[in-house]
Amino acid sequence: MDSIIALCKRRGFIFQSSEIYGGYNGFFDFGPLGVELKKNLKEAWWKDMVHCRDDIEGLDSSIIMSPKIWVASGHVGGFSDPMVDCKTSKMRYRADQLFFAPVIVDGNTIGYVSVLEDSSMQAVAEETADKMKRKQGVQGTLAPIELKDYTEADPSEYELIPSPATGEPGSLTPPRDFNLMFETKVGALSDSTATAYLRPETAQGIFANYKNIVDTGRVKIPFGIAQVGKAFRNEITPRNFIFRSREFEQMEMEYFISPEADWQGCHREWIDWCKDWLVSVGLPADMLGEDVHPLEKLSHYSRGTTDITFKFPFGEQELWGIACRGNFDLTQHQEHSGKSMEIFDQESKSKFIPHVVEPALGVDRLLLAVLTAAYTEDEIGGEKRTLMKFHPRVAPYKVAVFPLLKNKPELMEKAQDLYKKLQRKYNVFWDTAGAIGRRYRRMDEIGTPWCVTVDFDTLEDGTFTLRDRDTTEQKRINEEELLAMLDAQLY
């Protein structure tokens, strides 16, 4: 993981947001290479999900929408984590990540310890308890420290548990629900009716526009609406680089089906489609898994959810969630807006509110998975090299063009010709600096699949040296063959 983060920073894939001001926790910026990689992932998804499927329409709804949407969806009422504030330090903690225990010596409670969730928290708590015992000069046997999280605390214990910020008890509040949506104020009114939210998911923008698309398009059941865009959640503990951040991007699709349809079959089809797609952008099938949510853990509106997981460096984690949401969302919007969400199905000659299957993928997570899968270290001729084995579809640069020597005008001219020609269609790298071997290494490290060198043979017979990133093999190829190869590999 550290090598990936270091390479991301060194080669301009990903920077921490506001780095010159010491950074801003939970936010990231994508540099010249990161922005290309991210764009290519989004483009590939859009092409396969929207352009190449006749049953799916695209959409781009606003980030700030009417707050009524978030009331209807249940986010205003329920999208929250239990939080606890320290009144002294103004720090805020997730109650289920703040652990505590009474310190008991020979049956007497002499105080409380608290720790933040961590692999070493048990050891830290025991050490702290031991110090407390010594400091108070208490003799006797310390009972085993049994940590519980703050949501399990008895109300009488709140004022006894020390704040992790100050180490002193008395400043922690009871746990209370803290909404994860970012709030803001919109418009010409100065009171609370101006409250609005940054969307915590793109899905509701789709449900809110479902009726517009049914009314203006020529869709028929089953059909889908797809959207790519930013979403925001005020996560208290953003972590694992870009895996869990506060500002992120989603690619979501809502697939509307008849209430009578075989939803389990449809669910399975989408899980398979999504897995195939991940493989098509370069994730190895053996790094993917499936996590079927047990029935008792499903949200109240869900009939079934399966996560496609990926083996990240920090463990196997959710990458793409495919949820069967029933007709919960559309029914809620029908009730709250008073507008009918029913659709007339020509085939069955019946009217109904459709059910949905929702594949929801985070762009940033996908990008991290792609970086993880691509990162490779190998040895070429006794020399270590780092390379990013990006699938050609998503590689930031598709091909690099090198004139063998920059002080030979005829090589430069020929190479510029090719460069300009390829640029019409592809993102192409131009490099004239240093030995060809060093130029290859630079391209390996940013994952450019092919390098083309214009050399003296080019002037004779019109062929170039084509060098492959993964195998490092070189072969002669002419312009027509090169164009045909790129066309075949990249579309």
End-to-end C-alpha distance for the chain, whole angstroms? 31
Show contacts with a second copy in window 146-205 (CB under 8 A): 182-191, 193, 198, 205
CA pair distance 175, 95, nearest whole angstrom: 6
Please, are residues 226 and 213 in contact by the beta-carbon 8 Å criterion? no
217 vs 259 by CB, closer to a second copy: 217
CB 227 to a second copy: min, Å: 8
Stretches 334-342, 345-353, 368-376, 445-453: which one binds a second copy (CB under 8 A)?
A: 334-342
CB 354 within 8 A of CB 343: yes
Interface with a second copy (CB under 8 A), residue total 86
Binding mask of the shown chain, residues 241 to 270, with x at each position contacting a second copy by CB under 8 A:
-----xx-----------------------
Give me the least distance between CB of 225 and a second copy, in Å please.
Answer: 8
- The only residue of 176, 336, 351, 438 in contact with a second copy, by rule CB under 8 A: 336
Distance CA(258)–CA(253), nearest Å, equals 16
- Write down the least CB distance from residue 5 to a second copy, Å: 14
Whichever of 127 and 342 has its CB closer to a second copy, that residue is 342
Of the candidate residues 167, 217, 437, 462, the single one contacting a second copy (CB under 8 A): 217
Report 76-105 residues binding a second copy (CB under 8 A).
85, 90-93
Taking the least distance from each CB to a second copy, the nearer of 339 and 351 is: 339
Q: Which is nearer to a second copy, 135 or 185 (CB)?
A: 185
For a second copy, the closer CB: 183 or 260: 183
How far apart are alpha carbons 218 and 6 in whole angstroms? 49
Q: 28 pairs with which residues across the strands?
A: 16
Nearest CB to a second copy, comparing residues 216 and 280: 216
Strands 450-454 and 399-403: parallel
Buried b / exposed e across 2-19, counting CB within 10 Å, b at 16+?
eebbebbeebbbbbbbee
Residues 274-333 binding a second copy (CB under 8 A) are 333
How does DSSP classify residue 467? Answer: E
Residue 277 Cβ vs a second copy, minimum distance, rounded to whole Å: 16
- For a second copy, which stretch binds (CB under 8 A), given 101-109, 121-129, 207-215, 350-358? 207-215
| Cα gap 47→63, rounded to integer Å | 23
Instruction: Please choose, out of 148-156, 206-214, 382-390, 451-459, the segment that lies near a second copy by the rule CB under 8 A.
Output: 206-214
d(CA 455, CA 408): 10
Rounded to 5°, the CA angle 10-13-14 comes to 90
Phi and psi at residue 129, to the nearest 5°: -65, -40
Residues 406-435 that bind a second copy (CB under 8 A): 423-425, 427-428, 430, 433
Strand 463-468 with 450-454, pairing = antiparallel
Asked if the bond preceding 403 is cis, omega within 30° of 0, the reply is no
β strands within 274-390, DSSP E:
288-292, 304-312, 315-326, 343-345, 350-352, 355-362, 375-380, 383-388
Residue 376 makes contact with a second copy by CB under 8 A: no
Q: Is 35 in the site for a second copy (CB under 8 A)?
A: yes
**Does 480 engage in binding with a second copy (CB under 8 A)?**
no
Among 4, 28, 82, 402, binds a second copy (CB under 8 A): 28
Q: Does 208 bind a second copy (CB under 8 A)?
A: yes
Structure tokens at 101: 């225990």
32 and 12 in contact (C-beta within 8 Å)?
A: yes
From the CB of 346, what's the least distance to a second copy, in Å?
12
Closest CB to a second copy among 315 and 338? 338
Q: Does 230 bind a second copy (CB under 8 A)?
A: yes
Give every CB contact of residue 430 below 8 A, 6+ residues apart in sequence: 400, 401, 415, 419
Q: Closest separation between CB of residue 175 and a second copy, Å?
A: 14
Nearer to a second copy, 133 or 333 (CB): 333
